Structure 1
Amino acid sequence: MSGTGRSGKGPPMKTSILARFALASAMAVLIVGFAHAQAPAPASAVPAVRPQGPPDPYEGRKKLLVVADVQTGFHHNSISHAMATIEQMGRESGFYVAFLRTDSQLITSEPIVGTGARYDGRQINARNLDYFDAIFFLGSGEGTLTDQQKADLLAFVHDDGKGFIGGHASTVAFYNWPEYGEMIGGFMDGEFPVQPMPLIVEDPDFPGAREFPTTFTDQYQFLKAPYDTGDVHTILRLDPARLTAEQLTRRPDGDFPVVWARNYGRGRVYISTFGHLDDPWDQPAVRELYLEGIKWALGLTDADVTPDIQPQ
């Protein structure tokens, strides 16, 4: 026997085996392909919707968005020092992390996408309002907010229960936006020049207020509508008994709030008019009052902010 198969012809037997093997392989490929075509796509094949930005590097810490929108032509000389001080207070105290911006891009509830050749249309690491616990606003003028951003800002405080802290110039911002004036408690009507002015600590129980000096040098404002003493809780005010007759002509009722707080919907609003120049931001009393106001707006402390009836 030559070992060539039962027919005695080797090559035909080998060819037949190879042909059947090839046919079986082809059928297996078709079956596998059909099965894959009918099976649902694995979960990894569906693009995942990831939250805005990468993992939070400050997990568990309060986030304060500090905005000095200075793009509309007026820039207080103290703005840079104010922003640096606010960031420093958060870093040293450990109560919050401050994010400093001189634009309004992050004041939105919409996703923020990149621009330019590298980032165009992609969500990178910019955070919208959902990431923050409060806003510290140092802008003045009409600002650059769109109507949607304005609605998002009001909802951030009123509906979401977040905080809003207004610095020295916050009462001269958005004169053409009535709802903003209602949120903060009023607009500036004018100002006294920088000089020592007499103060009354109206609410010594508000954190940081009790030891504030009864005379302090700064630029002081007086307010107009929609300001109403029945809508705010005054913490510090000018002492009308120690003002001149000429100064009292600015508001014959003697109602000159300097620092006040109020609830706005579910949120908290804290306004301080201190800080026209650099020097007040270096004074321990002003820094302490701002820090405690930030903490209250962030929900870290509580205080009675029942609206005033009328200054006594």
Structure 2
Amino acid sequence: METRNAKVAVHIAVAERREVLQRASRRNGTRRQMKFNRICLLMVGIGTALAAWGQGRGGGQAVDPWRGMKKLLAVADVQTGYHHDSISHALATVERIGRDWRTYVTMIRTDSQLITHSQIKGQGRYDGRDVNAKTLNFYDALFMLPSGYGTLTEDQKAELLSFVRDDGKGLIVGHATGVAFTNWPEFGEMVGGYMDSEFNANAAVIVEDPKFPGADAFGLSPFMFNDQHPVFKTPYSREKVHVIMRLDPDKLDPMNRARRADGDFPVVWAKQYGKGRVFNVGWGHPDATWDDPRFQKMMLEGIKWAMGITQADVAPKPFPRPSTGQGQR
């Protein structure tokens, strides 16, 4: 009996010892896993910090926090011209519709610093460092609301032309662009024309190309639109641009009708410039235009086309004569 009890005690002792060892092993394994996890988190933190530091130092490409979405650089540099009251609202609207439709993200600037392919050197704390790595190389299209001669250097002008013509990127220009860079003929050729004059009116508009993305937002029939309408001059030519919408000259008052002898009053057009695409919208003087859902849809689709997301036939077409105000002919 005593021998049996002794054997039982031995078995119990062995089992308890085994359990103690197993618990110790599990604790050690947990500690090792926790240590490994801490090391991984530390490495991730170091990697993120190095990436951010590298961007500030100009080390490599710009970090993209919006992967999978197109990028739009919106620049309203009016330091040398007239600052329209609607500019801030225009920039905010273009930024919002891109995010609402998850189509593109917008970087808003009121200076022209990022219109370059070159590295940008910082000052002060960033003296001598390459900063603001998100230059033209980062963006799919540029939205401009310029005025006057602008602040672009000669190098920046060449890089802007190359951005569209050679890189195949998009350019979207809005109201008053027709009076910008009038001392730079290449810009006028790229956007399609300079503005000769303008007038405020609730004017009848003809949709010449309802197949262009977004043009159908206004319907297929002529419609009324209240804005400050541009009147374009050279280098504007029907042989160089694809007119999407124009004013109906037969519905204009005699004074405004006389502004163009041929009766051709384009307000929205598109064109190819080398490998790139240009979308030119003459409207946008009042805030109300930017609040119009039809206009917003047209802008969204025009930006998408300029970015290469959608396709359209933008071959130049002659002015349809005679004008009868009955839509596309």
TM-score by length of 2: 0.77
**Preserved CA contact (<8 Å) 2:149 2:181:** yes
Match in the other structure for 1:23: none
Query: 1:295 is matched with which residue: 297, 304, 307?
Result: 304
Match in the other structure for 2:30: none
**Preserved CA contact (<8 Å) 2:197 2:232:** yes
Q: Which has the larger radius of gyration?
A: 1
Which digits, 9 at most, give the CA deviation of each residue in 1:135-168, with x for residues without a partner?
A: 0001111110000000000000000000000011
| Contiguous gaps of at least 5 residues in structure 1 | 1-46
Match in the other structure for 2:83: 75
Q: Distance in 1 between matches of 2:194 and 2:112?
A: 21
| Cα gap change, 1:287 to 1:96, in 2 (>3 Å) | same
Q: Distance in 2 between matches of 1:185 and 1:309?
A: 15
- Which residue identity lines up with residue 233 of structure 1 in the other structure? H
Match in the other structure for 1:221: 230
The reply on whether 1:177 has 2:177 as its aligned counterpart is no
Match in the other structure for 2:127: 120
Query: Residues 182-221 of structure 1 correspond to what in structure 2 (within 5 A)?
Result: 182-193=189-200, 195-212=201-218, 214-221=223-230
Aligned length: 263
Misfit runs of 4+, over 6 Å: none
Q: Distance in 1 between matches of 2:81 and 2:190?
A: 24
Query: 1:160 is matched with which residue: 146, 154, 167?
Result: 167
**Preserved CA contact (<8 Å) 2:114 2:134:** yes
Report the aligned-residue RMSD.
1.6
Query: 1:234 is matched with which residue: 226, 235, 243?
Result: 243
- Which residue identity lines up with residue 253 of structure 1 in the other structure? D
| Contiguous gaps of at least 5 residues in structure 2 | 1-53, 322-329
Q: Distance in 1 between matches of 2:181 and 2:232?
A: 14
Match in the other structure for 1:33: none
Q: Distance in 2 between matches of 1:260 and 1:64?
A: 20
Q: Distance in 2 between matches of 1:201 and 1:168?
A: 19
Tell me the secondary structure at the aligned position of residue 120 of structure 2. coil
Which digits, 9 at most, give the CA deviation of each residue in 1:68-120, with x for residues without a partner?
A: 0021142000000000001101110110000000000000111112111x101
Identity %: 57
Q: Distance in 1 between matches of 2:292 and 2:319?
A: 30
> Which moved further from structure 2: 148-157 or 244-253?
244-253
- Which residue identity lines up with residue 244 of structure 1 in the other structure? D
| Cα gap change, 1:129 to 1:49, in 2 (>3 Å) | closer
Structure 1 residue 49: deviation in Å?
7.8
Match in the other structure for 1:244: 253
